[in-house]
Structure 1
Amino acid sequence: MKIEGIKNLVMIFLVAIGFVSCDDFLDRPTEDTYTIDSFYQNDEQLFQSVNPIYNSPWYDFQRGFMRIGEVMAGNLVFDGADGYTNFTLNSSDEQIANVSASLWAVNAYCNGVIQNVDLKSGASVTRKAKNTVKGEAMVWKAMSYFFLVRCFGAVPIIHDNATTIANNNSATVKRNNIEDVYKYITLILKDAIELLPEDNMTGRIDKYSAYGLLAKVYLTKSGYGMSGTRNESDLSEAAKYAKIVIEKSGRNLHPVYEEIFQLKGNFLDESLLAWHWTVGEQWTSQNSLQSDLSLSNFSDAVGSWGNYVYPTIDLQAAFGESADKLSRNYYDVRRKATMMMVGDTYDYFWTDKGGFIYNWDNSSDGIYGGSLSFVSGTGSNCAKHIVGRLADAKAQGYETLDGMHTPLSTHLLRLSDVYLIYAEAVLGNGTSTNDASALSAFNAVRARALKGNHEDVSSITFEDIYKERRLEFAFEGDRWYDLVRLHYYKPEVAKSIIVAQERGTWLGLDNFYLHNDNSGLEIQSHKVTGLTDEDFSIPFPEVDLSLNPGLMDDPISFDFGSIGYN
Structure 2
Amino acid sequence: MKIYNIKTFIIAILIMGIGVSCDDFLDRAAEDTYTIDSFYQDDDQLFQAVNTIYNSPWYDFQRGFMKIGDVLAGNIVFDVGDGYTNFTLNNSDVDIANASASLWSVNAYCNGVIQNVDTKSGSEVTQYAKNTVKGEAMVWKAMSYFYLVRCFGAVPIIHDNAEIISSNSSTTLKRNKIQDVYKYITLILKDAIELLPESNDAGRIDRYSACGLLAKVYLTKAGYGQNNTRNEDDLAEAAKYAKLVIDQSGRSLHPAYEELFQLKGNFNTESLIAWHWTVGAQWTSQNSLQSDLSMANFSDAVQSWGGYVYPTIDLQNEFDEDATSLTRKYRDTRRKATMMMVGDTYDYWWTEMGGFIYNWDSSEEGMYKGSLSFVSGTGANCAKHIVGRLADAKAQGYSDLDRMHTPLSTHLLRLADVYLIYAEAVLGNDASSTDAAALSALNAVRARALQGNHVDATEFTFDDIDKERRLELAFEGDRWYDLVRLHYYKPEKAKQMIAAQNRGSWDGLDDLYTNDNDANLNLRELFVTPSDVDFVIPFPEVDLSLNPGLMDDPVDFDFGSIGYN
Q: State TM-score, norm by structure 1.
A: 0.98
Question: What is the rounded CA distance, in whole Å, between the counterparts of 1:363 and 1:310 in structure 2?
Answer: 21
Q: Which residue of 2 aligns with 1:74?
A: 74
Deviation of the 1:466 alpha carbon: 0.2
Q: Which amino acid aligns with 1:37?
A: D
Using the alignment, how far apart are the partners of 2:273 and 2:483 within structure 1? 21
Does residue 327 (structure 1) correspond to residue 330 (structure 2)? The answer is no
Alignment correspondent of 1:144: 144
**Is the 1:300–1:368 Cα contact (8 Å) retained in structure 2?**
no
Note the alpha carbon deviations across 1:508-552, whole angstroms, 9 max, x for none.
1111111111011121001104x2101001000000001101101
What residue number does 2:37 align with?
Answer: 37
- 2:452 aligned residue: 452
Q: Give 2:75's aligned amino acid.
A: N
Within a 5 Å distance, the mapping from 1:63-212 to structure 2 comes to 63-79=63-79, 82-212=82-212
Q: In the alignment, residue 545 of structure 2 is paired with which amino acid? A: S
* Equivalent AA in structure 1 for residue 10 of structure 2: K
Structure 1 CA distance for aligned equivalents of residues 16 and 151 of structure 2: 24
Aligned to 1:432: 432
Whole-angstrom distance in 1 between the partners of 2:364 and 2:115? 55
d(CA) in 1 for partners of 2:441, 2:366 = 42
* SS of alignment partner, residue 83 of structure 2: helix
Q: State the Cα deviation string for residues 157-185 of structure 1 (Å, max 9, x = none).
A: 00000001111110101000000000000
User: Once the two structures are superposed, what CA deviation does each residue of 1:345-365 show, in whole Å capped at 9, x if it has no partner?
Assistant: 000000000000000001279
Root-mean-square deviation (CA, aligned residues, Å) is 1.4
User: 1: distance between equivalents of 2:368 and 2:499?
Assistant: 40
Equivalent residue for 2:548?
549
Residue pair 1:298, 1:368 contacting (<8 A) in 2 also: no
Identify unmatched segments of 5+ residues in structure 1.
none
Would you say the 8 A contact 1:299–1:368 is kept in 2?
no
Q: What is the TM-score when the length of structure 2 is the normalising length? A: 0.98
User: Are the counterparts in 2 of residues 377 and 505 from structure 1 also a CA contact under 8 Å?
Assistant: yes
Residue of structure 2 equivalent to 1:473: 473
Deviations 1:442-484 (A, max 9, x none): 0000000001111101000000000000000000000000000
Structure 1 ranges of 4+ moved more than 2 A: 79-82, 363-370
Q: Which amino acid aligns with 2:337?
A: A
Letter aligned with residue 7 of structure 2: E
Give secondary structure in 2 for the equivalent of 1:38: helix
Determine which of 1, 6, 9 is the counterpart of 1:3: 6
Distance in 2, matches of 1:152 and 1:534, equals 11
Contact 2:362 2:370 in 1 (8 A): no
Cα pair distance change 1:364/1:110, threshold 3 Å:
farther
Alignment of 1:180-329 (within 5 A): 180-329=180-329
* Partners of 1:310 and 1:238 in 2: CA distance: 34
Preserved contact between residue 298 and residue 366 of structure 1 (Cα < 8 Å)? no
Residues 393 and 400 of structure 1 are in contact (CA less than 8 Å); yes or no, is this contact kept in structure 2? yes
| 3-state SS of 1:134 partner | helix
Distance (Å, rounded) in 2 between the aligned partners of 1:293 and 1:366: 23
Question: Partner of 2:514 in structure 1?
Answer: 514
Question: Paired residues, what number?
Answer: 562
List alignment gaps of at least 5 residues for structure 2: none
Q: Structure 2: how far apart are the matches of 1:81 and 1:478?
A: 22
Cα deviation per residue 1:190-214 (whole Å; 9 max; x = unaligned)?
A: 0000000001111100000000000
Partner of 2:538 in structure 1?
539
SS at match of 1:506: strand
Check whether the contact 1:49–1:113 (CA below 8 A) recurs between aligned residues. Answer: yes
* Paired residues for 1:6-17 under 5 Å: 6-14=9-17, 17=19
CA shift at 1:8, angstroms? 3.2
d(CA) in 1 for partners of 2:393, 2:347: 13
Q: Distance in 2 between matches of 1:364 and 1:418?
A: 48
Distance in 2 (CA, whole Å) between partners of 1:26 and 1:297 is 31
List aligned pairs for 1:393-432, cutoff 5 A: 393-432=393-432
Map Cα deviations across residues 480-514 of structure 1 (whole Å, 9 max, x no partner): 00000000000000000011100000011111111
Equivalent AA in structure 2 for residue 534 of structure 1: V
Q: Deviations over 1:108-153 (max 9, x none)?
A: 0000000000110000000000000000000000000000000000
Aligned residue runs from structure 1 range 355-394, under 5 A: 355-363=355-363, 371-394=371-394
1:370 deviates by 5.8
Q: Is the 8 A contact 1:431 1:461 kept in 2?
A: yes
